[in-house]
Amino acid sequence: MSGALAIQPGEPDLDDRRVRAAFGRFATGVAFVTAEVDGTPLGLIVSSFAAVSLRPPLVSFCPSRHSITWRRMRQARRWTVHVLGAGHAAFVRRAAPAGADRFADPGAMRDALASIECEAAAEHGAGDHWIVVGRVRRLRVASDGEPLVYFAGGFGHFRPQH
């Protein structure tokens, strides 16, 4: 299997509402991906961030093909993924809608559980999204904190049991 995955008609029982409900049953973390283009800070809230490889260190996220912000951000060829903590839920609610001022509260970046600076490695079309792969160049990891978790359309947190 190679190349971009084209958008194909689904099976009759795979309507958008049911697919979204099924996908929403998988709990994910939440990240704020930022870049600067021509001196302008840009950012996206994503729940599709994933570690891809340790050697070399690679990560991915999946912005919408319709995202005007991603169209602008990709020009930078470098971005930072800020892994958000439980205390960032209000920020995400404010920053997620299109056109929101995502930089009104710089605390989201300062207080992230991890900040992972990346350089563009690959981008693949997949249905109505892009799969963007970045090579990790630098990172900062907080010593503690609980992750912000997205599940079934809502936000919560997770406390690991050691």
Domain residue spans of the chain? 28-153
Q: What percent of the chain has pLDDT over 90?
A: 67
**Helix, strand, coil % in the chain, rounded to nearest 5:** 20, 40, 40
Outline where DSSP puts E strands in 54-162.
Answer: 58-61, 78-83, 114-126, 129-141, 148-151, 154-157
What amino acid occupies position 70? W
Over the chain (162 residues), what is each successive 10-residue block's mean pLDDT? Answer: 55 78 88 96 95 97 95 96 95 90 82 96 96 98 93 87 76
pLDDT digits (tens, 9 = 90+) for 56-101: 999 999 999 999 999 999 999 999 999 999 999 999 999 988 888 9
User: How much is the pLDDT for 1?
Assistant: 43
Q: Are 69 and 83 in contact (CB under 8 A)?
A: no
CATH fold of the domain at 28-153:
Pnp Oxidase; Chain A (2.30.110)
